[in-house]
Amino acid sequence: MLGMRRTLITLLLLTPAVALAQVGHDPQTSPYRDLTRGAWLVPQAVFFQGSGGQLGIAPHGARLFGARAEIGGNRAISFGLEFATGTAERLIVDADGPVATRVTGPVDQKLTLAGINLMLNLTGGKTWRGIAPYVGGGAGVNFAARTPADTSGFNYGRRFYFAPTVGVRFFLTRDLYLRAEARAQFVQLQYPESYREEPASDPGTGGSSNAVLPNGRLKDWNTSGLYTLSIGVPFPWPF
């Protein structure tokens, strides 16, 4: 009986230790590592691709350069503020010209974006073997300079955007990472009234409609792909 009691007591004492050993990983061999920094400065290059809308007159084919300030980078949820600028391409449509010579270009146009980002780290406030994938979204404003050669009345101007995002950070060290990110950016375009009207004359059309937008809709949702490569370095955050 005494031996049985000793055995039961020993099992009761060992059970918590065994349970704890089965939960998680040994810190020395675990593939997970804590993110120790809360703020990052992220220089980045943004490759902007898309059709430019159904007429190709919105900015597309751009290479932008800028930076992002990322706050809360050692938590499951982090925020980013970003700015990037560069040169894009666009087409020009002459709403009053003959169909055969209506579209010209591409021509260069300065494009700038400024926005905020929300990122959900799929591995929490940790990395897995140095990798930290995430999903998220962003919103902001695109700014495009006027194109003097465009006399149709179209002006991209300032356009609000929203962009669902996926990405991954590769930590080379605990204080340095590389980022690859892909976004689908949605922008609503507004065409001028001249794109819905037929020109006064257009030889050779055979009497068919010569309006630039035969469906008559002056608004168009444009989707572009933004692909970002960047490098992150920590910077002091006072809060």
CA distance 58 to 159: 11
Residue 193: helix, strand or coil by DSSP? helix
Residue type, 208: S
Please report the pLDDT score of residue 152 as a whole number: 82
Please report the pLDDT score of residue 192 as a whole number: 87
Phi, psi of 36 (to 5 degrees): -95, -10
Tokens of 20: 């704890």
Structural domain spans, the chain: 30-234
Rounded to two decimals, the pTM is 0.78
CA distance 188 to 105: 22
Please report the pLDDT score of residue 144 as a whole number: 94
Cβ-Cβ contacts under 8 Å for 52 (sequence gap 6 or more): 58, 59, 60, 89, 90, 91, 222
Distance of CA 107 to the CA centre of its chain: 25
Architecture of domain 30-234: Beta Barrel (2.40)
Please give the chain's pLDDT, 239 residues, in tens. Answer: 444 445 434 434 443 443 344 345 556 668 888 876 678 999 999 999 988 988 889 999 999 999 999 987 667 888 999 999 999 999 998 877 665 567 888 999 999 999 999 999 998 888 898 999 999 999 999 999 988 888 888 899 999 999 999 999 999 988 899 999 999 999 999 988 878 766 555 555 444 445 677 677 888 899 999 999 999 998 876 55
Residue type, 100: A
Phi, psi of 14 (to 5 degrees): -85, -25
CB atoms within 10 A of CB 149: 10
Residue type, 9: I
Please report the pLDDT score of residue 76 as a whole number: 85
Please report the pLDDT score of residue 210 as a whole number: 57
Please report the pLDDT score of residue 111 as a whole number: 96
Cβ-Cβ contacts under 8 Å for 120 (sequence gap 6 or more): 76, 77, 134, 135, 136
